[in-house]
Amino acid sequence: MILACDVGLKRIGIAALLNGVILPLEAILRHNRNQASRDLSDLLREKNVQVLVVGKPNESYADTHARIEHFIKLVDFKGEIVFINEDNSSV
């Protein structure tokens, strides 16, 4: 299974790809980064995820870029992690 996440300061948006269909899942509410990384790690294990896709902006947004990379390092996941540029993804 492929799971995608959008790491925000208050919540982490989650979607899963199942049989070619993208399904939104319940967001993870962030109380702190350790709790949120544990919750995401648990979800990755529960869903038997092989690939985690993480949206992040380009490096001109240095603070956000670094925050997302640091958060993902806290996640206990042995599968493939793919970072995707999310610039211009919102309207």
Instruction: Work out the average pLDDT over 72-88.
Output: 91
Alpha carbons 78 and 91: distance in angstroms, whole number: 33
Structure tokens at 84: 């995707």
Q: What is the pLDDT of residues 7-49, one digit of tens each?
A: 999 999 999 998 999 999 999 999 999 999 999 999 999 999 9
**Of 86 and 22, more confident:** 22
Domains and CATH numbers, the chain: 2-85 (3.30.420.60)
Model-level pTM greater than 0.85? yes
Burial class (CB in 10 A: 0-12, 13-18, 19+), 59: exposed
Q: What is the pLDDT of residues 55-66, one digit of tens each?
A: 987 776 678 888
Integer-rounded Cα radius of gyration of the chain? 13
